[in-house]
Amino acid sequence: MPRFGELEEQVMLRLWATDRPLQVREVREALKPDRELAHTTVMTVLDKLYRKGWLRRESVGRAYAYSPVMSREAYTATLMHEAWSVAGRPATALVYFIEAMTPDQVDALRDALRVATAVLEAEPATDQERPRSA
């Protein structure tokens, strides 16, 4: 999964921070404290993100409103999974990753593992996982 360019990332952060689709002018306003950009520049970035499959858009009058296809958390998880999958020794890479975590991040990891374990245990076993009856 390719990473975002600098401006694409800033646009995505603004879109992820809201709970509704945004029009070009709204994204431009949200970027203003950090960057003063032309309307056409923001429109081009949004259109490129849409064409790359990162955004969905809906017609609102004569304009479009844009929203992310996936959440920031889902995007982050995908990046983490891809990074881990290319490691020569995934278990070692995971150890290095965990060693670099702050105590709060370790606590969050423990909580996530508890939730994931509970979800996996609650799912019915597939035919391949079920023991065969004699």
* Band (131; pLDDT cuts 50, 70, 90): very low
CA distance 63 to 94: 45
> Residue 4: what residue type?
F
Query: At 89, is the secondary structure helix, strand, or coil?
Result: coil
Query: At 66, is the secondary structure helix, strand, or coil?
Result: strand
What is the pLDDT of the chain when averaged over all its residues? 90
Q: Is the pLDDT of residue 44 over 60?
A: yes
CA distance 119 to 71: 20
- The string of pLDDT tens digits covering residues 106-129 is 999 999 999 999 998 988 765 555
CA distance 35 to 41: 11
CA distance 34 to 19: 21
- The string of pLDDT tens digits covering residues 69-99 is 999 999 999 999 998 889 999 999 999 999 9
Distance of CA 126 to the CA centre of its chain: 29
